[in-house]
Amino acid sequence: MILLGLLAAIVAASVVALSAAQALVLLGIPDPGPLTTYGVPAVRAISEIATVITIGSLFFAAFLVPPQRNGVLDVGGYRAVRMAGVAATVWAVTAALMVPLTLSETSGSPLSEAIRPENLFQALGQVETAVAWAWTTVLALITALLIRLSVRWSWTPYLLLLSLVALMPVALTGHSSSGGSHDMATNSLVLHLVAASVWAGGLFALLVHSLRGGEYTDLAARRFSFVAGLAFAVMAVTGVINAAVRMSFGDLTTTTYGRVLLAKIVALIVLGVFGWAQRRRALPALEADPTSRSALVRFTAVEAFVLAATIGLAVGLGRTPPPPPASAPTVQEVTLGYQLDVPPSFVSLFFGQWRFDLIFGTAALVLAVAYAIGLWTLRKRGDSWPVGRSIAWFSGCFVLLVATSSGVGMYSPAMFSVHMGAHMALSMLAPVLLALGGAMTLALRAFRPAGRNAPPGPREWILEFLHSPPSRFFTHPIVASVMFVGGFYALYLGGIFTTFIDSHSAHVLMNLHFLLSGYLFYWVVIGVDPSPRDLQPVTKLAMVFGSLPFHAFFGVTLMSMGTVMAESYYRGLALPWNYDLFADQKVGGSIAWSAGEIPLVLVMIALLVQWSRTDKRTARRVDRAADRDDDADLAAHNAMFAELARRDGEGR
């Protein structure tokens, strides 16, 4: 880890040396001194290496090597989790160092000045990237502490999730979050960093495991090879999109930024070749003899150094000023990331204007493709699957795509009424359809059971998830209802919406909350998938009935509000067609009211149908049992009453 961190730090600082002077001129700030100019890329690169090792090692322990049969981590998993603990601590420390370093770099004042408490706390709130590093410090520290406490496999997927959350503050700020197309730049960088972390970190963990002669190296290498292939594709696509947002093809050879990028492209190709060699040489050798690790170790070691150097290049690239844009971005491009020239209409909302949302649009496509693969697997086996469920699932994916990537997704950050329409589609319509799709049931049928003494696989992971304490907590009727309904009130009436409306990352997090809290609620209420809690139909009905008035009240409150939420933001957009913000907010309120009630009524009908079906099924089962044992239950029942009558008779 130290060697890889140092290599990345040296490469990053060298790249910065190429353009440091140019950057200061372009930014128009005084020189903060070499400690900051080279300290920032060096510490950032070490932090990036610590980040990927934390995430990759947790990924390794969770999905590449099996635990012991009693659920406690096996040697390989335990060592990987310990390595993640050390890396997370380094991550927290370097992230903490990045706070004053970022303040020094942004203000142009020497580090000694920036680090003084009165300057530090005064400036912290004003510099978004410094705040992001402060959050990263806290989240990385929590990850490191929780890692120390965990020895059971079942916690590793959740620790992995937490470490990915800790990656987000920095991924959602920096170069990508400002200027034209910042929505594309930020979303592509989020996917880029997640893929880089799992790929580079997983590779480092695999290298250490195979160097130690760890068990299941062949299984880990085979599983990792699949993941690395996916990560390679994601890195290439998101890297190109991120680059295309900032520069033209011609800049590749004529600007420092372009040349560093070219070096990254070459590195990716080299890594692709090594990946290919792994599949042609190392994996077959391991398959033939699980102890023949030499080819794997040789190739992985080279890949590890190339990846560490590329991360250094990337950090240097992140500190290199991109080529100046052909024209200054407009107010809308700076705020939204794009320009809206025509007023919203049925055509412009659903047909005329599409802008693919790299996060939610991609999620919709991946969810649809994964489900189709599940269907195909069942069909290949000759198993049937209710067509209604497939229609529900693909419709849910389609609603997710349209609500985030069509004109609805484009106008949503610009107009409250369209935003509310998108909100309702993401928290009401898409989740109802997805919950009726029964994806987990399909996965449990499509994936084969691992077999008695075999390492657990996807099917066992899903079952473990379904029975895990966090799933039980979040599917509790009260928790699911509060997350579903409470979110509305906290967001709009609690002022969160107004405070964060101009932040792209807030829009990403809002959409994520709408989708997950909606899916969770409908999974519990009408989901066809097995749920950690076996709730009575009456409890489910109570959840729906309970949330109905809250929805109605929320819609009415919006319609009767006396002030316009986030007025300065909407006015500031200077949309070419001027419109009445008040009236638009009222439209938003009526959409919330109507679009909230309709799915809930549909759900109630679906629940009553499910309830009557359950009853019929129970009745049929009881009848079949009665046929089998000559209605022993009824006989026992009658005998009990006869006995009671006899005792009553004797008492008198």
Convert residues 614-643 into a mask of x (bound to ligand HEM by CB under 6 A) and - (unbound).
------------------------------
Using rule CB under 6 A, residue 175 touches ligand HEM:
yes
Using rule CB under 6 A, residue 317 touches ligand HEM:
yes
Q: Which is nearer to ligand HEM, 198 or 363 (CB)?
A: 198
What stretch of H or E contains 367?
A: helix 360-381
Q: State in angstroms the smallest separation of the CB of 300 from ligand HEM.
A: 14
In 3D space, the residue among 590, 429, 419 whose CA is nearest the CA of residue 518 turns out to be 429
Using rule CB under 6 A, residue 176 touches ligand HEM:
yes
- Which residues touch 526 (CB under 8 Å, ≥6 apart)? 432, 435, 436, 540, 603, 606, 607, 610
Q: Name the token pair of 131.
A: 């705040």
Q: State in angstroms the smallest separation of the CB of 315 from ligand HEM.
A: 4
Q: Which of residues 252-281 bind ligand HEM (CB under 6 A)?
A: 261, 264-265, 267-268, 271
430: left (phi over 0), alpha (psi -120 to 50) or beta: alpha
Using rule CB under 6 A, residue 242 touches ligand HEM:
yes
Q: State in angstroms the smallest separation of the CB of 4 from ligand HEM.
A: 12
Q: State in angstroms the smallest separation of the CB of 239 from ligand HEM.
A: 2
Burial (CB count <10 Å: 0-12, 13-18, 19+), residue 175: buried
* DSSP code per residue over 276-328: HHIIIIIHHHHHH-TT--HHHHHHHHHHHHHHHHHHHHHHHHHTSPPPPPSSP
- Window of 284-292, 314-322, 325-333, 374-382 that interacts with ligand HEM by CB under 6 A: 314-322
Q: State in angstroms the smallest separation of the CB of 335 from ligand HEM.
A: 20
Helix (H, G, I), strand (E, B) or coil at 72: strand
Q: Which residue in 21, 72, 149, 240 binds ligand HEM (CB under 6 A)? A: 240
Q: State in angstroms the smallest separation of the CB of 193 from ligand HEM.
A: 6
Helix (H, G, I), strand (E, B) or coil at 607: helix
Q: State in angstroms the smallest separation of the CB of 39 from ligand HEM.
A: 14
Q: State in angstroms the smallest separation of the CB of 197 from ligand HEM.
A: 8
Contact 185, 175 (CB under 8 A): yes
Q: Which is nearer to ligand HEM, 49 or 543 (CB)?
A: 49
Q: Which is nearer to ligand HEM, 193 or 282 (CB)?
A: 193
Strand partners, 72: 152
What stretch of H or E contains 441?
A: helix 439-446
Convert residues 281-310 into a mask of x (bound to ligand HEM by CB under 6 A) and - (unbound).
--------------------------x--x
Q: Which is nearer to ligand HEM, 155 or 204 (CB)?
A: 204
Convert residues 209-238 into a mask of x (bound to ligand HEM by CB under 6 A) and - (unbound).
--------------------------xx--
Contact 511, 360 (CB under 8 A): yes
Using rule CB under 6 A, residue 311 touches ligand HEM:
yes
- Which residues touch 119 (CB under 8 Å, ≥6 apart)? 103, 109, 113
Q: Which is nearer to ligand HEM, 171 or 428 (CB)?
A: 171
Q: Which is nearer to ligand HEM, 235 or 410 (CB)?
A: 235
- Which residues touch 303 (CB under 8 Å, ≥6 apart)? 203, 271, 274, 275
Count of residues engaged in binding ligand HEM, rule: CB under 6 A: 30
Using rule CB under 6 A, residue 48 touches ligand HEM:
yes
- Which residues touch 652 (CB under 8 Å, ≥6 apart)? none
Strand partners, 152: 72
Q: State in angstroms the smallest separation of the CB of 286 from ligand HEM.
A: 24
Q: Name the token pair of 464.
A: 């473990």
Q: State in angstroms the smallest separation of the CB of 199 from ligand HEM.
A: 7
Q: Name the token pair of 60.
A: 């390794």
Q: Which is nearer to ligand HEM, 167 or 491 (CB)?
A: 167
Among all residues, whose Cβ is closest to ligand HEM?
239
The end-to-end CA distance of the chain, in Å, is 88
Q: Which is nearer to ligand HEM, 49 or 510 (CB)?
A: 49
Burial (CB count <10 Å: 0-12, 13-18, 19+), residue 370: middle
Using rule CB under 6 A, residue 192 touches ligand HEM:
yes
**Whole-number Å distance between alpha carbons of 417 and 409:** 12
Q: Which residue in 315, 340, 429, 462 binds ligand HEM (CB under 6 A)? A: 315
Q: Which residue in 93, 164, 314, 415 binds ligand HEM (CB under 6 A)? A: 314
Contact 68, 74 (CB under 8 A): yes
Using rule CB under 6 A, residue 8 touches ligand HEM:
no
Q: Which is nearer to ligand HEM, 137 or 517 (CB)?
A: 137
Q: Name the token pair of 263.
A: 């070096």
Q: State in angstroms the smallest separation of the CB of 196 from ligand HEM.
A: 4
Q: Name the token pair of 296.
A: 């794997």
**Whole-number Å distance between alpha carbons of 593 and 609:** 25
Q: State in angstroms the smallest separation of the CB of 354 from ligand HEM.
A: 23
Using rule CB under 6 A, residue 94 touches ligand HEM:
no
Contact 81, 73 (CB under 8 A): yes
Binding site for ligand HEM (CB under 6 A): 44, 48, 174-176, 189, 192-193, 196, 200, 235-236, 239-240, 242-243, 261, 264-265, 267-268, 271, 307, 310-311, 314-315, 317-318, 322
